[in-house]
Amino acid sequence: MNLLTKKRAILPGLGLSLGLSVLGLSLMVFIPIVVMVFTAFEGGWDRFVEAVTDRRVLAAAWFSLRMSFYATLINLVFGSLVAWVLVRYRFPGRSLLNALVDLPFALPTAVTGVTLATLYAPTGLIGQMFAAEGIFGRIFGPTMIAFDAKGVVIALIVVTLPFMVRAVQPVLETLNHEFEEAATVLGATRGQTVRRVILPELVPAMIMGCGMMFARATGEYGSVIFIANNIPYDTEILPLVITGKLDQFNPQAASAVALLMLMISAVILLAVNIAQWHFQKRLVEAH
Protein backbone atom coordinates (compact mmCIF):
# COMPACT_ATOMS: atom_id res chain seq x y z
CA MET A 1 0.00 0.00 0.00
CA ASN A 2 2.74 2.37 1.06
CA LEU A 3 4.79 1.42 -1.93
CA LEU A 4 1.92 2.27 -4.22
CA THR A 5 1.39 5.81 -2.94
CA LYS A 6 5.12 6.48 -3.10
CA LYS A 7 5.18 5.38 -6.70
CA ARG A 8 2.26 7.72 -7.47
CA ALA A 9 4.02 10.67 -5.92
CA ILE A 10 7.00 10.42 -8.23
CA LEU A 11 4.80 10.32 -11.31
CA PRO A 12 5.38 13.52 -13.24
CA GLY A 13 2.69 16.16 -13.50
CA LEU A 14 1.47 16.08 -9.91
CA GLY A 15 1.89 19.81 -9.43
CA LEU A 16 0.09 20.78 -12.61
CA SER A 17 -2.79 18.31 -12.33
CA LEU A 18 -3.31 18.94 -8.64
CA GLY A 19 -3.18 22.69 -9.23
CA LEU A 20 -5.74 22.49 -12.01
CA SER A 21 -8.01 20.27 -9.91
CA VAL A 22 -7.86 22.61 -6.94
CA LEU A 23 -8.41 25.66 -9.16
CA GLY A 24 -11.39 24.05 -10.87
CA LEU A 25 -12.94 22.89 -7.62
CA SER A 26 -12.39 26.31 -6.06
CA LEU A 27 -13.97 28.20 -8.94
CA MET A 28 -16.93 25.93 -9.32
CA VAL A 29 -17.62 24.49 -5.86
CA PHE A 30 -15.71 26.07 -3.04
CA ILE A 31 -15.99 29.79 -3.84
CA PRO A 32 -19.74 29.69 -4.59
CA ILE A 33 -20.35 27.96 -1.28
CA VAL A 34 -18.25 30.50 0.61
CA VAL A 35 -20.16 33.34 -1.08
CA MET A 36 -23.43 31.63 -0.19
CA VAL A 37 -22.40 31.32 3.47
CA PHE A 38 -21.40 34.99 3.55
CA THR A 39 -24.70 36.05 1.98
CA ALA A 40 -26.62 33.88 4.43
CA PHE A 41 -25.04 35.69 7.35
CA GLU A 42 -25.40 39.16 5.88
CA GLY A 43 -27.07 41.10 8.66
CA GLY A 44 -25.81 38.76 11.32
CA TRP A 45 -26.66 35.53 13.06
CA ASP A 46 -30.15 36.68 14.03
CA ARG A 47 -31.25 37.22 10.44
CA PHE A 48 -29.98 33.75 9.57
CA VAL A 49 -31.82 32.11 12.46
CA GLU A 50 -34.94 34.11 11.65
CA ALA A 51 -34.84 32.91 8.05
CA VAL A 52 -34.34 29.22 8.79
CA THR A 53 -36.71 28.93 11.74
CA ASP A 54 -39.63 30.46 9.85
CA ARG A 55 -42.57 28.06 10.16
CA ARG A 56 -43.03 27.92 6.41
CA VAL A 57 -39.38 27.04 5.83
CA LEU A 58 -39.51 24.33 8.48
CA ALA A 59 -42.73 22.93 7.03
CA ALA A 60 -41.14 22.81 3.58
CA ALA A 61 -37.96 21.22 4.96
CA TRP A 62 -40.01 18.56 6.74
CA PHE A 63 -42.04 17.89 3.60
CA SER A 64 -38.90 17.64 1.43
CA LEU A 65 -37.27 15.25 3.91
CA ARG A 66 -40.36 13.06 4.17
CA MET A 67 -40.88 12.78 0.42
CA SER A 68 -37.16 12.13 -0.14
CA PHE A 69 -37.27 9.42 2.51
CA TYR A 70 -40.21 7.65 0.84
CA ALA A 71 -38.56 7.86 -2.58
CA THR A 72 -35.27 6.55 -1.18
CA LEU A 73 -37.00 3.68 0.57
CA ILE A 74 -38.87 2.64 -2.56
CA ASN A 75 -35.77 2.89 -4.72
CA LEU A 76 -33.74 0.91 -2.21
CA VAL A 77 -35.94 -2.05 -3.08
CA PHE A 78 -36.78 -1.23 -6.67
CA GLY A 79 -33.31 0.00 -7.67
CA SER A 80 -31.62 -3.05 -6.15
CA LEU A 81 -34.08 -5.25 -8.00
CA VAL A 82 -33.26 -3.55 -11.30
CA ALA A 83 -29.54 -3.97 -10.62
CA TRP A 84 -30.08 -7.64 -9.75
CA VAL A 85 -32.04 -8.27 -12.93
CA LEU A 86 -29.43 -6.51 -15.06
CA VAL A 87 -26.49 -8.43 -13.56
CA ARG A 88 -27.88 -11.88 -12.97
CA TYR A 89 -30.06 -12.57 -15.97
CA ARG A 90 -29.37 -12.68 -19.68
CA PHE A 91 -32.37 -11.73 -21.78
CA PRO A 92 -33.00 -9.93 -25.06
CA GLY A 93 -33.09 -6.16 -24.62
CA ARG A 94 -30.89 -6.30 -21.55
CA SER A 95 -28.43 -3.70 -22.79
CA LEU A 96 -31.34 -1.48 -23.82
CA LEU A 97 -32.77 -1.71 -20.31
CA ASN A 98 -29.33 -0.99 -18.95
CA ALA A 99 -29.14 2.18 -21.04
CA LEU A 100 -32.68 3.19 -20.05
CA VAL A 101 -31.63 3.36 -16.41
CA ASP A 102 -29.47 6.39 -17.19
CA LEU A 103 -32.25 8.21 -19.00
CA PRO A 104 -33.33 10.24 -15.94
CA PHE A 105 -29.75 11.59 -15.84
CA ALA A 106 -29.83 12.54 -19.50
CA LEU A 107 -33.28 14.12 -19.60
CA PRO A 108 -33.66 17.72 -18.49
CA THR A 109 -35.50 17.45 -15.19
CA ALA A 110 -38.18 19.88 -16.39
CA VAL A 111 -39.00 17.47 -19.22
CA THR A 112 -39.27 14.63 -16.72
CA GLY A 113 -41.54 16.78 -14.56
CA VAL A 114 -43.86 17.89 -17.34
CA THR A 115 -44.07 14.36 -18.77
CA LEU A 116 -44.88 12.83 -15.39
CA ALA A 117 -47.41 15.56 -14.58
CA THR A 118 -49.17 14.93 -17.89
CA LEU A 119 -49.16 11.15 -17.46
CA TYR A 120 -50.32 11.15 -13.85
CA ALA A 121 -52.84 14.01 -14.06
CA PRO A 122 -56.50 12.96 -13.70
CA THR A 123 -56.81 13.23 -17.50
CA GLY A 124 -53.47 11.52 -18.20
CA LEU A 125 -52.85 7.99 -19.39
CA ILE A 126 -52.04 6.62 -15.93
CA GLY A 127 -53.73 9.26 -13.80
CA GLN A 128 -57.16 8.56 -15.23
CA MET A 129 -57.04 4.99 -13.92
CA PHE A 130 -57.02 6.51 -10.45
CA ALA A 131 -59.70 9.12 -11.18
CA ALA A 132 -63.37 8.58 -10.28
CA GLU A 133 -64.12 6.71 -13.52
CA GLY A 134 -60.92 4.67 -13.72
CA ILE A 135 -60.38 1.02 -12.73
CA PHE A 136 -58.43 1.76 -9.56
CA GLY A 137 -60.57 4.82 -8.84
CA ARG A 138 -63.68 2.62 -8.70
CA ILE A 139 -62.11 0.05 -6.42
CA PHE A 140 -60.17 2.28 -4.01
CA GLY A 141 -61.99 5.56 -4.48
CA PRO A 142 -60.70 8.38 -6.66
CA THR A 143 -57.26 9.69 -5.81
CA MET A 144 -54.98 12.36 -7.25
CA ILE A 145 -51.42 11.43 -8.08
CA ALA A 146 -50.06 14.42 -9.96
CA PHE A 147 -50.62 17.72 -8.10
CA ASP A 148 -50.39 15.85 -4.82
CA ALA A 149 -47.65 14.62 -2.48
CA LYS A 150 -47.78 11.24 -4.27
CA GLY A 151 -46.70 12.95 -7.47
CA VAL A 152 -43.70 14.44 -5.71
CA VAL A 153 -42.60 10.98 -4.57
CA ILE A 154 -42.99 9.61 -8.10
CA ALA A 155 -40.88 12.41 -9.59
CA LEU A 156 -38.20 11.81 -6.96
CA ILE A 157 -38.23 8.06 -7.60
CA VAL A 158 -37.61 8.67 -11.29
CA VAL A 159 -34.79 11.17 -10.94
CA THR A 160 -32.94 9.21 -8.23
CA LEU A 161 -33.28 5.67 -9.60
CA PRO A 162 -29.96 5.67 -11.51
CA PHE A 163 -28.02 6.39 -8.29
CA MET A 164 -29.23 3.17 -6.67
CA VAL A 165 -28.82 0.96 -9.71
CA ARG A 166 -25.37 2.29 -10.53
CA ALA A 167 -24.24 1.94 -6.91
CA VAL A 168 -25.32 -1.67 -6.51
CA GLN A 169 -24.63 -2.99 -10.01
CA PRO A 170 -20.78 -3.02 -9.97
CA VAL A 171 -20.70 -4.70 -6.57
CA LEU A 172 -23.12 -7.36 -7.72
CA GLU A 173 -21.00 -7.92 -10.82
CA THR A 174 -17.85 -8.63 -8.80
CA LEU A 175 -19.71 -10.84 -6.36
CA ASN A 176 -18.29 -14.31 -6.80
CA HIS A 177 -20.73 -17.10 -7.61
CA GLU A 178 -18.52 -19.51 -5.68
CA PHE A 179 -19.57 -18.04 -2.35
CA GLU A 180 -23.19 -18.77 -3.10
CA GLU A 181 -22.35 -22.24 -4.36
CA ALA A 182 -20.33 -22.89 -1.24
CA ALA A 183 -23.24 -21.71 0.93
CA THR A 184 -25.60 -24.05 -0.91
CA VAL A 185 -23.20 -26.98 -0.60
CA LEU A 186 -22.90 -26.28 3.11
CA GLY A 187 -26.67 -26.61 3.36
CA ALA A 188 -27.89 -23.02 3.36
CA THR A 189 -31.35 -22.36 2.00
CA ARG A 190 -31.72 -19.80 -0.79
CA GLY A 191 -33.11 -17.30 1.72
CA GLN A 192 -30.17 -17.83 4.05
CA THR A 193 -27.75 -17.36 1.18
CA VAL A 194 -29.31 -14.06 0.24
CA ARG A 195 -29.44 -12.84 3.83
CA ARG A 196 -26.08 -14.10 5.00
CA VAL A 197 -23.91 -14.08 1.87
CA ILE A 198 -25.21 -11.67 -0.73
CA LEU A 199 -26.77 -8.87 1.33
CA PRO A 200 -23.76 -8.21 3.59
CA GLU A 201 -21.65 -7.61 0.50
CA LEU A 202 -24.26 -5.28 -0.96
CA VAL A 203 -25.09 -3.26 2.14
CA PRO A 204 -22.25 -0.71 1.83
CA ALA A 205 -23.19 -0.03 -1.80
CA MET A 206 -26.84 0.20 -0.86
CA ILE A 207 -26.08 2.68 1.89
CA MET A 208 -24.03 4.78 -0.50
CA GLY A 209 -26.82 4.65 -3.09
CA CYS A 210 -29.41 5.66 -0.50
CA GLY A 211 -27.27 8.55 0.70
CA MET A 212 -26.78 9.91 -2.79
CA MET A 213 -30.45 9.45 -3.63
CA PHE A 214 -31.58 11.18 -0.48
CA ALA A 215 -29.20 14.12 -0.91
CA ARG A 216 -30.23 14.52 -4.53
CA ALA A 217 -33.94 14.22 -3.71
CA THR A 218 -33.92 16.93 -1.04
CA GLY A 219 -32.46 19.37 -3.57
CA GLU A 220 -34.47 18.35 -6.63
CA TYR A 221 -36.43 21.23 -8.13
CA GLY A 222 -36.96 20.97 -11.87
CA SER A 223 -39.05 17.81 -12.05
CA VAL A 224 -40.94 18.22 -8.78
CA ILE A 225 -42.13 21.74 -9.41
CA PHE A 226 -44.38 20.69 -12.30
CA ILE A 227 -46.02 17.75 -10.59
CA ALA A 228 -46.41 19.22 -7.08
CA ASN A 229 -49.30 21.46 -6.11
CA ASN A 230 -47.05 23.75 -4.05
CA ILE A 231 -49.48 24.66 -1.26
CA PRO A 232 -47.68 26.55 1.55
CA TYR A 233 -47.31 24.62 4.83
CA ASP A 234 -48.54 21.51 3.04
CA THR A 235 -46.82 20.41 -0.15
CA GLU A 236 -44.16 23.03 -0.72
CA ILE A 237 -40.63 21.73 -1.29
CA LEU A 238 -37.65 23.53 0.18
CA PRO A 239 -36.07 24.54 -3.17
CA LEU A 240 -39.35 26.29 -4.08
CA VAL A 241 -39.12 28.35 -0.90
CA ILE A 242 -35.59 29.34 -1.94
CA THR A 243 -36.64 30.50 -5.41
CA GLY A 244 -39.61 32.29 -3.83
CA LYS A 245 -37.21 34.28 -1.68
CA LEU A 246 -35.05 35.10 -4.69
CA ASP A 247 -38.12 36.34 -6.53
CA GLN A 248 -38.72 38.69 -3.63
CA PHE A 249 -35.16 39.96 -4.16
CA ASN A 250 -34.08 38.58 -0.81
CA PRO A 251 -30.81 36.74 -1.51
CA GLN A 252 -29.89 36.70 2.18
CA ALA A 253 -32.91 34.63 3.21
CA ALA A 254 -32.56 32.45 0.10
CA SER A 255 -28.92 31.73 0.95
CA ALA A 256 -29.82 31.05 4.57
CA VAL A 257 -32.37 28.41 3.53
CA ALA A 258 -29.94 27.03 0.95
CA LEU A 259 -27.35 26.70 3.70
CA LEU A 260 -29.89 24.86 5.82
CA MET A 261 -30.43 22.47 2.92
CA LEU A 262 -26.70 22.05 2.45
CA MET A 263 -26.32 21.23 6.14
CA ILE A 264 -29.07 18.63 5.91
CA SER A 265 -27.33 17.03 2.93
CA ALA A 266 -23.96 17.21 4.66
CA VAL A 267 -25.34 15.45 7.74
CA ILE A 268 -26.84 12.74 5.55
CA LEU A 269 -23.64 12.22 3.59
CA LEU A 270 -21.65 12.12 6.82
CA ALA A 271 -24.01 9.56 8.32
CA VAL A 272 -23.75 7.52 5.14
CA ASN A 273 -19.98 7.60 5.20
CA ILE A 274 -19.89 6.55 8.85
CA ALA A 275 -22.35 3.74 8.21
CA GLN A 276 -20.41 2.62 5.15
CA TRP A 277 -17.13 2.66 6.98
CA HIS A 278 -18.70 0.67 9.80
CA PHE A 279 -20.05 -2.01 7.45
CA GLN A 280 -16.88 -2.13 5.39
CA LYS A 281 -14.92 -2.76 8.56
CA ARG A 282 -17.25 -5.57 9.58
CA LEU A 283 -17.01 -7.02 6.12
CA VAL A 284 -13.21 -6.94 6.17
CA GLU A 285 -13.16 -8.49 9.64
CA ALA A 286 -15.55 -11.21 8.48
CA HIS A 287 -13.28 -12.01 5.56
Partner 1 sequence: MRRYLLLIASAVLAFGGATAVAADTQPAELFNASYDVTRAYFKSYNELFRQHYAAAHNGRKVSVYQSHAGASKQAMAIVNGLMADTVSLNQASDMLLLSRHNMVSKDWETKYPNHAVPFTSVTVILVRKGNPKNIHDWSDLLRSDVKFVMPNPKSSGTGRYAFLSLYGGIRHSVGDDATKVDAAMKRAMRNVPILANAGHGATNAFVTSQIGDALITLENEAHMAAEQYSPGQFEVIYPDYSVVVEGPVAVVDAVARKKGSEALADEYIKYMWSDAAQELAASLWLRPASEKVLARYHSRFPDIRAYRAVDEFGPWNRIKKDIFSDGGYFDQVYK
**C-beta neighbour count of 120 within 10 angstroms:** 24
For partner 1, the binding residue among 250, 266, 273, 274 (CB under 8 A) is: 250
By beta-carbon proximity to partner 1, the closer residue of 145 and 165 is: 145
Q: Is 52 in the site for partner 1 (CB under 8 A)?
A: no
For partner 1, the binding residue among 225, 237, 258, 272 (CB under 8 A) is: 225
For partner 1, the binding residue among 65, 81, 175, 246 (CB under 8 A) is: 246
By beta-carbon proximity to partner 1, the closer residue of 141 and 187 is: 141
By beta-carbon proximity to partner 1, the closer residue of 5 and 123 is: 123
Q: Is 63 in the site for partner 1 (CB under 8 A)?
A: no
Q: Is 216 in the site for partner 1 (CB under 8 A)?
A: no
Torsion angle defined by CA atoms of residues 210, 214, 216 and 220, in that order, rounded to the nearest 10 degrees: 140
Contact letters for partner 1, residues 5-44 (x by CB under 8 A): ----------------------------------------
The DSSP-derived string for the chain is -HHHHHHHHTSTTHHHHHHHHHHHHIIIIIHHHHHHHHHHTTTHHHHHHHHHT-HHHHHHHHHHHHHHHHHHHHHHHHHHHHHHHHHH---TTHHHHHHHHTHHHHS-HHHHHHHHHHHHSTTSTTHHHHSTTSHHHHHH-----TTSHHHHHHHHHHHHHHHHHHHHHHHHHHS-HHHHHHHHHTT--HHHHIIIIIHHHHHHHHHHHHHHHHHHHHH--TTHHHHS---TTTT--HHHHHHHHHHTT-HHHHHHHHHHHHHHHHHHHHHHHHHHHHHHHHHHHH-
Q: Are 143 and 137 in contact (CB under 8 A)?
A: yes
Q: Are 113 and 223 in contact (CB under 8 A)?
A: yes
By beta-carbon proximity to partner 1, the closer residue of 40 and 213 is: 40
CB of 89 to partner 1, least distance (A): 38
Q: Is 95 in the site for partner 1 (CB under 8 A)?
A: no
Contacts with partner 1 in 126-165 (CB under 8 A)? 127, 144, 146-147
By beta-carbon proximity to partner 1, the closer residue of 172 and 246 is: 246
By beta-carbon proximity to partner 1, the closer residue of 2 and 123 is: 123
CB of 229 to partner 1, least distance (A): 4
Using CB under 8 A, which of the segments 36-44, 51-59, 100-108, 134-142 binds partner 1? 51-59
Q: Is 243 in the site for partner 1 (CB under 8 A)?
A: yes
Using CB under 8 A, which of the segments 24-32, 54-62, 182-190, 273-281 binds partner 1? 54-62
Rounded Cα–Cα distance for residues 124 and 133 (Å): 13
For partner 1, the binding residue among 5, 249, 284, 285 (CB under 8 A) is: 249
Q: Is 219 in the site for partner 1 (CB under 8 A)?
A: no
For partner 1, the binding residue among 124, 204, 211, 239 (CB under 8 A) is: 124
- Which residues does 170 contact at the CB level (< 8 Å), separation at least 6? 205
Rounded Cα–Cα distance for residues 219 and 200 (Å): 30
- Which residues would be at the binding site for partner 1 (CB under 8 A)? 54-56, 117-118, 121-124, 127, 144, 146-147, 225-226, 229-233, 240, 243-250, 253
